Amino acid sequence: VSDGLSERVHRAATNLGYRANVSARGLRLSRTMTMGVVFERMDAPVYLDILTGLTAAADEIGYSILVANADADPDRQRHFVRQMYERRVDALLLSGLRGTVRGELEPFSRAGIPTLGLFGRDRDARDIPVAISPQEKQLTTILARLKELGHRKVMYLGGVGALATRWKILQNAAADVGGLALEQCLMPFETPLPELRDRYAQVFESHRDATALFVHSWNIAAMNAALRVRGETIPDDWSVVTFTDSRYTAALNDPPLSALWIDSVEFGRQTLAIIEDWLAGTPPPSVNLLDLAVWHETESIGSARPR
């Protein structure tokens, strides 16, 4: 066909408002140009960051994203994984895989559809390849730095439940460094601020040999409140480090807190790059370490106060 004719036809099609039907094409080609994302839960800003990275990278290669939230319910997780198969997604991303969906994954593996687990730091599941952001290396660096500043006892203020793995990683890093005692104070995430504040104030009183704090971002407000009650300040009385995996919980403290930071948007992007290679014929290894943790030191840490 001549260029001129081709152009005229295209123009006419556009004017008439013709738009190709992607599902019909998908049926014919058995490629839907759609990927499914099933989040085990969606109740923290980090999931929005991951989704932002995933959707941006997917769009770059012409894919759309179907999103589902299992809301911490294994039955719903199974339901959505099955739904993604019924919609014949070309790839499936699963966060927080707990082994509950194994049966529903079978059609995917039989059909050779790429299926990748997204884990911030867990590394137990082995049914399908997983993408993980390791933090051990940076934690070792941080603990060594605290030791250098004279700290000998570090306390972790965290939440019970899903994030307990962080405590394990912290222990491993402390063992690597040596000569550092570690203590934890885990409280349910639902604890009201006044109660959390009073609990922390008690803990600070009864652990006067501790001089440094690791604090989960959800607990920063309560920590600040407890310090205010006790008239203690950062970094004179306590050196403080926080974990953060989201843009929204970072750097809003006074003074800004030293942080072990993971760029979850980038995590989403790199995860999708793994899928892209897989679709192109290169399956990933069973564990994909995305080295995204960054140590950001601020004036919130300093020399250990004398005890």
Partner DNA sequence: CTGAAAGCGCTTACAG
Residues that bind DNA (CB under 7 A): 1, 18-21, 24-25, 27-30
Report the site for a copy of itself in 41-80 (rule: CB under 8 A): 42-45, 47-48, 51-52, 55-56, 59, 64-69, 71, 80
Q: Which amino acid is at 134?
A: P
Q: What is the dihedral of CA 57, 59, 62, 67, to 10 degrees?
A: 100
The single residue listed with the structure tokens 């770059």 is 60
Report the site for a copy of itself in 172-211 (rule: CB under 8 A): 193-194, 197
Using CB under 8 A, which of the segments 102-110, 129-137, 163-171, 275-283 binds a copy of itself?
A: 102-110
- Give the up-direction half-sphere exposure of residue 200: CA atoms within 13 A in the CB hemisphere: 30
Q: At closest approach, how far in Å is the CB of 3 from DNA?
A: 12
Q: Which two tokens mark 161?
A: 């439940």
DSSP symbols for 251-302: S-SSSPPEEEEE-HHHHHHHHHHHHHHHHTT-PPPSEEE---EEEE--TT--
Of 26 and 302, which CB lies nearer to DNA in the complex structure?
26
DSSP-derived secondary structure letter, 243: E
Of 246 and 288, which CB lies nearer to a copy of itself in the complex structure?
246
- Polymer length in residues for the chain: 307
Q: At closest approach, how far in Å is the CB of 18 from DNA?
A: 7
Q: At closest approach, how far in Å is the CB of 289 from a copy of itself?
A: 27
Q: At closest approach, how far in Å is the CB of 21 from DNA?
A: 3
Beta carbons within 10 angstroms of residue 132's beta carbon: 19
The single residue listed with the structure tokens 């290894």 is 285
Q: Is 287 in the site for a copy of itself (CB under 8 A)?
A: no
Q: At closest approach, how far in Å is the CB of 29 from DNA?
A: 5
* Angle of CA points 228, 229, 235, to nearest 5°: 35
Return residues touching a copy of itself (CB under 8 A).
17, 19-24, 26-27, 32, 34, 42-45, 47-48, 51-52, 55-56, 59, 64-69, 71, 80, 82-83, 85-88, 106-107, 110, 193-194, 197, 220-222, 224-225, 228, 247-249, 251-254, 256
